[in-house]
Amino acid sequence: MDKNNSFFKQNFLKQPMMSNTFFALLPILICGVYFYGLKVLLLFIVTMIFGLLTEYLFAKLLKQKVSQALFVSVILYVLTLPPDIPIWISVVGIVFGITFSKMLFGGFGKNVFNPAITSRAFIYISFGPYLTSKWYKPFINFPAGFLKYKVDTISSATPLKEILSNGSSFKLDLNLIINFLFGNKSGSIGEGFIILILIIGLFLMYKKYASRQIVLSGFLSFIIFSSILYFAGKSPNPIYMVLTGGWFFGLLFMMTDPVTSATTKTGKIIYGSLYSILTIIIRIFGIWTEGAMFAILISNTFAPFIDYLVKEAGSKNK
């Protein structure tokens, strides 16, 4: 027992916030297994092994310890993937993300880009058909995916793609909204169960692991901007825009990453708003159905500059 404790002390940073965040996200992973089968669990385990190995090797080279933030990065990354993605592609993504968005910047706390979304962006660009061509309808009736390896019923498209193709003419449907809230829709492994995502997000904000300024400004900006476009006839109903795609998941769990987000109070408000506005612009006017992934990376890029401008404005007002 002492040897095990000694090993972890010597090789892992003690980061209670990160370890608690990881455990808070586990229910979403369990729901992913329920909806899409035991392959999700295998995907997570294999990806975690290679993510750990990658950071461990670089940590040794840099004479550092492995950060517990790695566990959060891996689980978030897996939750953004399609349920039937080849496992080897997931491994390529996490190795790339940990290497090029984190360790080559100097390790934990020095990276500019969120490792989880960088990993996904890389495989999205490199292996696009595996991430965009096939989507699957989730298992619903218990025990659902707990006793099956993977889903096999193909869905023609994600709800977001169908809704965007119909624009403002897509009418509100209470049954459809309920399905969206409880995960009965095709999409990435972790984006479906909106109610659970909201509960965990509120918990993280209560524990002050997630910035309230980023979340609230991001949410209000999304509602206001999408409503303006909706009444202008350019966007689907804002309710559908919130409940489909990965924007909500990204807002609560990736934009609030303390390392890659803005740090000043005003900066956090601008940062959260920027993410939501960019997501809507890319969704409505871009060639990609889902804008959240690129919006996160763009927001990461501007975070230091936003803080700089806020501090400069503050110093001039003194």
pLDDT tens track for 294-311: 999 999 999 999 999 999
Q: Please give the Cα distance from 270 to 266 (Å, whole number).
A: 6
What average pLDDT does range 106-119 have in this prediction?
A: 95
* Assessment of whether the complete model's pTM goes beyond 0.85: yes
pLDDT band at 318 (very low <50, low <70, confident <90, very high): low
The Cα-based distances of 153 to 35, 137, 144, 164, 251 in angstroms read 12, 6, 13, 23, 29
**287 compared with 149, residue with greater pLDDT:** 149
Where are the chain's structural domains? 2-131, 165-313
Q: In terms of Cα–Cα distance, which of 223, 240, 309 is closest to 317?
A: 309
pLDDT digits (tens, 9 = 90+) for 37-85: 999 999 999 999 999 999 999 999 999 999 999 999 999 999 999 999 9
pLDDT of residue 206: 96
Task: Tell me the backbone φ, ψ of residue 182, rounded to 5 degrees.
Answer: -105, 15
Contacts of 33 (CB under 8 A, 6+ apart): 40, 41, 145, 146
